[in-house]
């Protein structure tokens, strides 16, 4: 099998999509599956050929107001066509909906190559956080049209798949996510690091993109209320980067600390060294960072909305609140902090639940989906020629 991937976000950019594609690439390499990735250029010297079985083709792009870390590229149709014609993919997998993703969709249709698309980001929910709700009907129409061409549309969670079904999307299939429980593990707890994050304090941790659509205002309001009620007893740690970074630094209560972006062992240690994962976002199609926190042995205080509902259960591994319910969210944080037996029970269940979500099983399922699409396509061609 030869697979061509088209994405508007890729390494070195860090997010849920790039993390998944990076792990998928390593899995395909291990299975000797030839694949090609069409992706944006981020820095001079971005990798081209990176393995015996994988080639990356990069295109220069532009930044956008919604995501300054990303690059939106519009490669020439003829260039994509020529490269793909030489590679001769058996299947096209499009992971994003705009520049490069659009080119991949167009190539698949022009050459009658089976097309799989995966839905990763709910941009429609993001619009209200950027005062762009007026464009929601137009965006919804575009997405419905774009995904109508796919032989399979893969959703990362049952919750997201149900939302897409209600919107009229067809050929839906679940493609979940996994977690490396060796990299994210309570064993990485570091007491010296704890002292730098908040010595003798209860540490609430947020990890992820620092942007408005993550509903960080709700977390900051909770931090301010808890500082008023429990002065000097807590530390709210924000790990990540994004357009909201300076706002958090400049206008946050005194119990808030920004660490910047972390990865590798540093990220593993910061997860395992906290006491509770505080995640106010209700826009996630899956929520990779929540699963990373669970694998690290953290109880979660979150929102009962989005893809996280596939693996978060109220009062089992998390305490959940309705979207934008600041008071309940704050009370849940206080409950985790004050009730040690409850906190330990949530943490134990969080780690236990994460152990069942293995990446290899996730990717084995994806290969099975590819094979099913190829078989259906072959059968349709046979019937048409009969």
> Are the beta carbons of 253 and 224 closer than 8 angstroms?
yes
Per-residue DSSP letter, 230: S
**The pLDDT value given to residue 371:** 96
CA 111 to chain centre: 31
CB proximity list for 323: less than 8 A, separation 6 or greater: 215, 282, 303, 304, 305
User: pLDDT tens digit string along 322-357?
Assistant: 999 999 999 999 999 999 999 999 999 999 999 999
Structure tokens at 377: 């396509």
Residue 304 C-beta-side C-alpha neighbours within 13 Å = 13
CB proximity list for 289: less than 8 A, separation 6 or greater: 16, 207, 208, 279
Record the pTM: 0.87
Cα-only R_g, the chain: 22
**The pLDDT value given to residue 146:** 95
> Are the beta carbons of 299 and 350 closer than 8 angstroms?
yes
> Are the beta carbons of 277 and 300 closer than 8 angstroms?
yes
**The pLDDT value given to residue 57:** 93
> Are the beta carbons of 319 and 346 closer than 8 angstroms?
yes
Instruction: Please tell me the distance from the alpha carbon of residue 259 to that of residue 377, in angstroms, as a whole number.
Output: 50
**The pLDDT value given to residue 193:** 96
Structure tokens at 34: 């030839």
> pLDDT tens per residue, the chain (386 residues)?
999 999 999 988 888 889 899 999 999 999 999 999 999 998 766 655 566 788 999 998 887 766 667 788 899 999 999 999 999 999 999 999 999 999 999 999 999 999 999 998 887 777 877 788 888 889 889 999 999 999 999 999 999 999 999 999 999 999 999 999 999 999 999 999 999 999 999 999 999 999 888 999 999 999 999 999 999 999 999 999 988 898 898 877 889 999 999 999 999 999 999 999 999 999 899 999 999 999 999 999 999 999 999 999 999 999 999 999 999 999 999 999 999 999 999 999 999 999 999 999 999 999 999 999 999 988 877 777 66
Per-residue DSSP letter, 241: -
């Amino acid at each position: 099998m030869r697979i061509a991937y088209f994405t508007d976000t890729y390494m070195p950019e860090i997010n849920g999509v790039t993390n998944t594609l990076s792990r998928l690439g390593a899995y395909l390499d291990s299975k000797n599956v030839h694949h090609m990735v069409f992706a944006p250029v981020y820095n001079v010297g971005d990798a081209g050929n990176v393995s015996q079985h994988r080639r990356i083709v990069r295109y220069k792009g532009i930044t956008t107001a919604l995501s300054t870390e990303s690059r939106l590229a519009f490669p020439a149709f003829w260039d994509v066509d020529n490269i793909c014609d030489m590679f001769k993919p058996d299947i096209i997998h499009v992971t994003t909906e705009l520049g490069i993703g659009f080119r991949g969709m167009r190539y698949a249709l022009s050459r009658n190559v089976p097309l799989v698309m995966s839905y990763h980001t709910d941009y429609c929910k993001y619009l209200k956080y950027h005062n762009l709700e007026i464009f929601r009907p137009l965006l919804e129409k575009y997405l419905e049209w774009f995904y109508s061409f796919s032989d399979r549309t893969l959703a990362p969670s049952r919750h997201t798949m149900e939302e897409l079904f209600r919107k009229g999307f067809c050929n839906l299939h679940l493609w979940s996510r996994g977690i490396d429980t060796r990299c994210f593990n309570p064993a990485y707890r570091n007491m010296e690091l704890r002292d730098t994050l908040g010595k003798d304090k209860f540490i609430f941790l947020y990890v992820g993109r620092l942007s408005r659509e993550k509903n960080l205002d709700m977390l900051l309001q909770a931090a301010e209320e808890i500082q008023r009620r429990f002065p000097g007893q807590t530390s709210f740690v924000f790990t990540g980067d994004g357009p909201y970074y300076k706002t958090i630094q400049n206008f946050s209560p005194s119990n808030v600390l920004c660490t910047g972006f972390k990865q590798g062992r540093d990220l593993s240690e910061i997860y395992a060294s906290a006491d509770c994962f505080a995640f106010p976002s209700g826009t996630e199609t899956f929520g990779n960072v929540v699963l990373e926190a669970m694998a690290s042995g953290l109880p979660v205080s979150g929102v009962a909305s989005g893809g996280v509902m596939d693996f978060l259960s109220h009062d089992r591994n998390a305490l959940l609140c309705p979207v934008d319910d600041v008071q309940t969210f704050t009370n849940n944080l206080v409950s985790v902090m004050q009730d040690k037996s409850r906190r330990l029970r949530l943490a134990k269940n969080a780690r236990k639940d994460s152990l069942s979500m293995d990446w290899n099983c996730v990717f084995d399922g994806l290969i099975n989906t590819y094979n099913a699409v190829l078989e259906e396509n072959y059968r349709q061609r046979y019937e048409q020629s009969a």
